[in-house]
């Protein structure tokens, strides 16, 4: 029993550190496998579970609607969304898909992709689409709020100091990567908070958990290409002929928008994939409505049930 317990713990904690995925062939986008997790009676929040499995809070809620984010029910089973389709864009440097709240890093000359959950700009402070590069690597950054950030806080009755020095109280954490876009106001940085990853919480920057930003900071060289995209719907036809669609809640534009029901604009290429005679239109319709953030098999005549959720951990 002791050996079994130790083996289980080793397996469990090895999963917690797994953010690297083997890079699939150029004609393939599917990576990873989902996991099924039984919630223990230990009082952990959903954020704590999400952090353990290197995923984000909203991604967990998409995959497990109705789950109490503060205290998931002990004994209930959660799908851990660790299977995904790579974004439909160039596999180089850093790719951020704000719609799925994930950052993909493609290390040069390595056959792998590293995936990080992120926090992005809140409503009214959107993280814009761009193609840029890392212009500066900043250890122990200080934070100087921009005039727009100061105005937004002032509207809420909060007065920000001119500069917050480096240290444990700095909301940028211990590492920052400045982007060359615009006036250099956008950064990929850490946080001093225990929540907010996988959510729209920042003032437009891209936020990572402390361990993740340290890993990324030490991995990427200055000048690395960075692309920020907004793809709530991803799709792929794999080399074996299997067709998948992955649908995330779109980013809201107004306070009254409901990401679960607001319309999703489909690109011409996506419409072609959806309308193909090889695609099951009913399954796709259900996936577009459900918005689970998980790849769904949509071949006509084949099951759409998840193929890669193992026995519960």
Q: What are phi and psi of 282, to 5 degrees?
A: -70, -40
Length of the chain in residues, anyone? 313
205 is catalytic: yes
Catalytic hit among 52, 185, 189, 253: 189
Q: Kindly state the DSSP code that residue 195 receives in the 8-state scheme.
A: S
Beta-strand ranges (E) seen in 182-252 are 187-189, 200-202, 206-207, 225-229, 233-237, 243-247
Catalytic hit among 52, 185, 205, 253: 205
In 3D space, the residue among 91, 96, 120 whose CA is nearest the CA of residue 106 turns out to be: 91
* Residue indicated by tokens 């500066």: 136
185 is catalytic: no
Report d(CA 177, CA 184) in Å as an integer: 10
CB-count burial class (<10 Å; 0-12, 13-18, 19+) for 147: exposed
Report d(CA 121, CA 100) in Å as an integer: 13
Report the DSSP pairing between strands 120-121 and 130-139.
unpaired
Residues marked as catalytic: 189, 205
């Amino acid at each position: 029993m002791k050996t079994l317990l130790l083996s289980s713990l080793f397996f469990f904690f090895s999963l917690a550190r797994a953010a690297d995925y083997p890079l699939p062939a150029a004609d393939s986008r599917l990576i990873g496998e989902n996991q099924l997790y039984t919630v223990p009676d230990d009082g952990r929040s959903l954020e704590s579970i999400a952090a353990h499995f290197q995923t984000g809070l909203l991604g967990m809620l998409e995959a497990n609607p109705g789950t109490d984010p503060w205290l998931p029910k002990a004994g209930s089973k959660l799908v851990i969304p660790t299977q995904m389709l790579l974004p439909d864009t160039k596999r180089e440097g850093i790719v951020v898909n704000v719609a799925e709240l994930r950052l993909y890093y493609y290390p040069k000359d390595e056959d792998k992709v590293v995936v990080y959950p992120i926090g992005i700009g809140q409503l009214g402070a959107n993280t814009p689409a761009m193609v840029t590069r890392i212009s500066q690597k900043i250890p122990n950054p200080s934070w100087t709020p921009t005039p727009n950030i100061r105005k937004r806080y002032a509207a809420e009755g909060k007065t920000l100091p001119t500069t917050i020095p480096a240290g444990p109280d700095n909301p940028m954490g211990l590492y920052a990567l400045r982007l060359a876009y615009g006036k250099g106001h956008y950064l990929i940085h850490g946080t001093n908070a225990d929540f907010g990853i996988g959510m729209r919480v920042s003032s437009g920057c891209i936020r990572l958990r402390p361990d993740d930003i340290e890993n990324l900071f030490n991995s990427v060289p200055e000048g690395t290409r960075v692309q920020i995209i907004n793809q709530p719907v991803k799709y792929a036809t794999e080399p074996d002929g299997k067709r998948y669609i992955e649908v995330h809640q779109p980013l809201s534009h107004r306070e009254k928008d409901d990401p679960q029901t607001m319309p999703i604009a489909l690109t011409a290429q996506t419409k072609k994939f959806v309308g193909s005679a090889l695609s099951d239109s009913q399954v796709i319709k259900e996936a577009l409505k459900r918005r689970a953030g998980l790849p769904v098999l949509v071949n006509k005549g084949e099951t759409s049930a998840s193929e890669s959720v193992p026995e519960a951990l």
